[in-house]
Amino acid sequence: VSSSSLLTSQNRLSIDVGIVEYKSEGQHLHRFFINEADVGFGAIVVEASKRLPNYFGRKINYLPHVLGGVGSLFGYKNKRIALRVEEEVEDTCVCAMVVIANGSYFGGGMCIAPDAKPDDGLLDMIIFGDMGKSEMMKIWQMTYNGRHVSHHKVRSRKIRSVAIQCDEKILVEADGELLGEGPVSFSVLPSALSIVV
């Protein structure tokens, strides 16, 4: 397929774009994301996996993510967070991480948000609740086929925006890049990006 035919293609899809606002080195910043973002354990895994050398190439690029996850788990403590979805009453909970997804997959093949649709004008919020390390490892394995959302310590819902605060330092990542720390907020720009399909 030629470049010119792609540029003139009528087969286009308008997808949503997420916005994350966060803090880094004392500055309040924002950036866009296409696929997913998260706070808590997932961001710790991203930080750890980036430090691992990629000996095996892209064909098995899930390996650094798995090793980073296992290594990070043993030193990680769940966080007490306060979150406010849109104009709802603030909710406080202890959790391992909160994922905000526009797409279904991340982290080398994990089906983290099975019901996510990048063109529905909404984001999927998945909260991994207060769980021990062995339980977290079990649920982590379930993410590869999306069965984790049926676990009683995992909550999932559709949102347009959410603000998250934590009294402790909590890291933030988006689309596999470590950004900074909370407090953090997420929102969606519906149909903001046109792609060729």
* Domain ranges (residues) in the chain: 3-196
Q: What percent of the chain has pLDDT over 70?
A: 82
**Residue 46: what pLDDT?**
80
Residue range 172-187: mean pLDDT, rounded: 96
- Tell me the whole-structure pTM to 2 decimals: 0.85
Rounded to whole angstroms, how far apart are CA atoms 194 and 7? 11
Q: How many CB atoms lie within 10 A of CB 159?
A: 17
- Grouping H, G, I as helix, E, B as strand and the rest as coil, residue 189 is strand
- CB contact at 8 A, 29 and 19: no
Q: Work out the average pLDDT over 19-34.
A: 96
The answer, yes or no, to whether residue 159 has pLDDT greater than 60, is: yes
C-alpha to C-alpha distance for 102 and 71, rounded to whole angstroms:
27
Q: How many C-beta atoms surround the C-beta of residue 156 within 10 A?
A: 18
In the chain, what percentage of residues exceed pLDDT 90?
Answer: 66
**Nearest in space to 169 (alpha carbons), one of 157, 178, 156:** 178
User: pLDDT tens-digit profile of 38-90?
Assistant: 999 888 888 777 665 555 554 444 444 454 445 556 678 999 999 999 989 99
Query: Is 57 in contact with 89 (CB distance < 8 Å)?
Result: no
Higher pLDDT, 132 or 32: 32
Cα(183)–Cα(166) distance, integer angstroms: 7
> How many residues in total does the chain contain?
197
pLDDT of residue 4: 58
Name the helix (H) or strand (E) containing 6: helix 3-7
Of residues 159, 137, 163, 148, the one with CA closest to residue 113: 148
**Which pLDDT score is estimated for 15?**
97
pLDDT bucket at 167, cuts 50 / 70 / 90: very high
**Which of residues 27 and 53 earns the better pLDDT score?**
27
Distance from chain centroid for Cα 95: 14
pLDDT exceeds 90 at position 177: yes
Question: Average pLDDT, whole number, for the chain?
Answer: 87
Query: What angle do helix axes 41-50 and 62-73 make, rounded to 10 degrees?
Result: 120
Q: Which CATH architecture has domain 3-196?
A: Sandwich (2.60)
Confidence grade of residue 143 (pLDDT, cut at 50, 70, 90): very high
